[in-house]
Structure 1
Amino acid sequence: MKKPLKEQKTVLLILLSNIFIVFLGVGLIIPVMPSFMNIMHLSGKTMGYLVAAFAFAQLLMSPLAGRWIDTYGRKKMIVIGLVLFSASELIFGLGTHVSVLYFARILGGISGAFIMPGVTAYVADITSVEERPKAMGYVSAAISIGFIIGPGIGGFITELGIRAPFYFAAGFALITCISSIFILKEPLSKQQLLEISKLKKDTNFITDLKRSFHPVYIIAFIIVFVLAFGLSAYETVFSLFSDHKFGFTPRDIATIITISSIFGVVVQVFLFGKMVDKLGEKKLIQLCLIAGVALAVVSTVISNYLIVLLVTCFIFLAFDLLRPALTTYLSKTAEKEQGFVAGMNSTYTSLGNIIGPALGGVLFDVNINYPYLFAAVIMFIGLLITMVWKEKQSASGLVN
């Protein structure tokens, strides 16, 4: 019998801190990067490649990390991921040559491949089916909060030096790592891990990838990719779009992103569980995709600041609700293969995070409206797929 969430507050707090620090670390270096780029005499192309290196390393490592999470346990992989993340931030802060920076970013991507699926698998293991949507909503909120306060903290810490935010992230990750070692307990017994490991004995990355195409999983993974692609493409060009089309100042843009993110977090924490109970994961996913398509198109024809703020709030909310809804659905489908599903979830997310920003930037150079319109097309295709998915799943009896 799994304990209620209210009796596992300390464990959940540590897990949320682990996922929070990863995205805090990503967010707090944002205000530093232009100055860091000038000091290191790096080109814009190099900075773009450094961003892609993180996602690419996470993409390659995620399937293997998922297998190790099911074989060696959730706690071990989370701890290893935090050690690697701390090391990557420290190395990046100390780096004086671009090759060292690439190494640090690749190490950071590997750490993310361990931490994210490790935490989601752990949360799935310790929660009941009834309480899992609420717990996954907390995980998604922790990710969003890391993004929200990261740039602000980074700007404040920069007063101590350009490299200080990297050292701060390294130290914070080390503290959460030590806390995890002493407070977290492996949620699965050795026997349970052995049983899962036996199921995976004859599998590898290729077989895992093929298995992700199973009807039970593939549509959800496609939507994971669509979400990552759409969100990353939207966020990548948002500041450029707002500057070129509306003439918004950096403060205007930062205010819109902050208010939109806070709005999304509040809804996730207080309403997500109730929305899943009322609508179910699949219907909520479909509604979020409909909203995403409509609002992405609307974004190309508005100009008033308050209207832009309102539209951005709701498109961010759609993305913020999609993430935990998909994660919850996949964790329910996975049963004893939480590591595999969490790993492939990370794989498809990374793939979207690589392609989305790159393609969004290319389309922006052609026409500033194209990234939003293309994201709308991708989400609409995802919506059509969920219609087929619903019929096939119901007809085959694979899910309730």
Structure 2
Amino acid sequence: MQKRSVKSGDDKPTAEETMKTEPLLSPDGAGDQTVKIFNFKVHKVVLVVHINIFLYATCFWIQTGTLPYLSKRLGVDPVVFGYLQTTFAVVQLAGGPLYGRFGDLFGGRAAMTLAFSASALTYFLLGLSYNIPLLFVSRLPSMFMHAMQGGQMIVTDLGEVHKRADALGKLGMSYGVGMVIGPLVGGLITKHVSEEFAAFLASAGSLLSIVLVLAFVPKHTKKPEAKVAEEASSSSVFNFKKIINLVLAPGVLFLLLIKIGSGIPIGIFQSMFQVVAIDTFHLAADQNGFVMSYIGITTMIVQGIGIGILTKRFSENSILKWSAFILVWSYLLMAFCTNIWQLCAVFLPLVIGLTTKNVVLSAAVTKTVSDADTGAMLGLNMAVHSLVRTVSPTIGGYMLEHLGFPSFGYLGFVLCSIVTVVLFIKFRQPS
């Protein structure tokens, strides 16, 4: 028989009752946690996360645009550059699931601080690189350079489940703004100052993000019931049994395999794009920056506006099927591109298909697990991306050297055709 305690007017609530009754992320119980921007209410912490993701993307794309030119100046050929990209992918693959588990256990503030610290160190070492071995060493701290994953974890924690894809899409829009500005800034600095200065600027931007995280992001962002569930489970970051169980959860493996199948072509193309831009299309650093900014603007529009409209009108299954269908024909068109203007035209449907597919898949995998494990699941989702990037540079380097640029398009056409057929069979019943 359960006893009911009766309190007098002077009795103080217990800590457990306080946690349940006080507003989330407001330890002192004071103040509204939202701000108004253009008549839209935005959670203060989510707003800070968006600012940090913008800074992260800006700094990342500054160094991404700088890296191939610095590498070429140091005597790196396409094959060695492929090894460099593989090294980056391998260390990110190793760190992705661990970073997600770390975020679930220690909270959003610790996770974001770790990510930006890794970013700052990676870019700083890149700026110091005066030979090829140091270039490889500069990739090692990126094991925990997962700020986007950390941001997704916080937005997932604070948002509503049925609006998750839209929330992740809007976070991608902030990333897209940085992707527009970063290559432009990086290209101009590389052209007028130096590659090293661009890398140091990216490092400084990451340090600014650390300050913002420590000042505005709370220690924990998960809902109270999710924190209780997490405390009841193993508290080890290196709990590989837990990670394996998440992979084997219903529906997860299928979604991850779809991500791999449709991700291989773009992973190979992205790993070699900087080399293609220089050797095939003969772009200068600033011109390369303009192309990357064009891609960023397209991505930003699709993620910030398109995803919200699509998820309100269509099911996620339908969006997934038709985005894969768009990719099939985008890759086929890519195979016939002979100049940069044609390639930029193909980028439009390609970016639309890739962006919608990636956002919907990211939202879908988080819905297969409890709120306590969303960070680890996002880590697995990111690990798949890193796994693709691990093998992509080696395959891409071989394809570019022996088969030529059109082979990227033909590979994408074949693999995405298979993925599309599988999706249409799997989701043939209306959802």
| Matched residues, number | 391
CA distance in 2, matches of 1:305, 1:34: 18
Query: 190, 193, 196: which is aligned to 1:163?
Result: 196
Q: CA deviation at 1:280?
A: 1.8
Pick closer, same or farther for the CA change 1:98–1:237 going to 2, 3 Å.
closer
Pair 1:118-2:135 in alignment: no
CA distance in 2, matches of 1:235, 1:39: 21
| 5+ long unaligned stretches in structure 1 | 395-399
Question: What residue is the counterpart of 2:400 in the other structure?
Answer: 364
Q: CA deviation at 1:292?
A: 0.3
Question: What residue is the counterpart of 1:349 in the other structure?
Answer: 385
Pick closer, same or farther for the CA change 1:212–1:280 going to 2, 3 Å.
same
What amino acid does structure 2 have at the position aligned with 1:196? E
Question: What residue is the counterpart of 1:397 in the other structure?
Answer: none
Question: What residue is the counterpart of 2:327 in the other structure?
Answer: 292
Query: 32, 48, 57: which is aligned to 2:82?
Result: 48
Bigger CA radius of gyration? 2
SS where residue 139 of structure 1 aligns?
A: helix
CA distance in 2, matches of 1:135, 1:278: 16
CA distance in 2, matches of 1:390, 1:198: 36
Query: 152, 172, 182: which is aligned to 1:150?
Result: 182
Query: 165, 172, 177: which is aligned to 1:133?
Result: 165
Pair 1:63-2:97 in alignment: yes
Which has more helix, going by share of residues? 1
Pick closer, same or farther for the CA change 1:221–1:34 going to 2, 3 Å.
closer
Q: List aligned pairs for 1:200-211, cutoff 5 A.
A: 200=234, 204-205=239-240, 207-209=242-244, 211=246
CA distance in 2, matches of 1:306, 1:100: 36
What amino acid does structure 1 have at the position aligned with 2:156? A
What amino acid does structure 2 have at the position aligned with 1:136? L
CA distance in 2, matches of 1:44, 1:360: 10
Per-residue CA deviation, residues 160-207 of structure 1 (Å, 9 max, x unaligned), is 333111111111111111111111122126774342143345983355
The 10-residue stretch of structure 1 (127-136 or 345-354) with the greater mean CA deviation from structure 2: 127-136
Pair 1:89-2:126 in alignment: no
**Matched-pair contact (CA < 8 Å) for 1:32–1:155:** yes
Q: CA deviation at 1:308?
A: 4.0
Q: CA deviation at 1:254?
A: 5.7
Q: CA deviation at 1:362?
A: 1.7
TM-score by length of 1: 0.86
Q: CA RMSD in A?
A: 3.1
SS where residue 94 of structure 2 aligns?
A: helix
CA distance in 1, matches of 2:277, 2:197: 30
TM-score by length of 2: 0.80
**Matched-pair contact (CA < 8 Å) for 1:31–1:154:** yes
Pick closer, same or farther for the CA change 1:239–1:163 going to 2, 3 Å.
closer
Q: CA deviation at 1:213?
A: 3.5
Query: 199, 212, 218: which is aligned to 2:253?
Result: 218
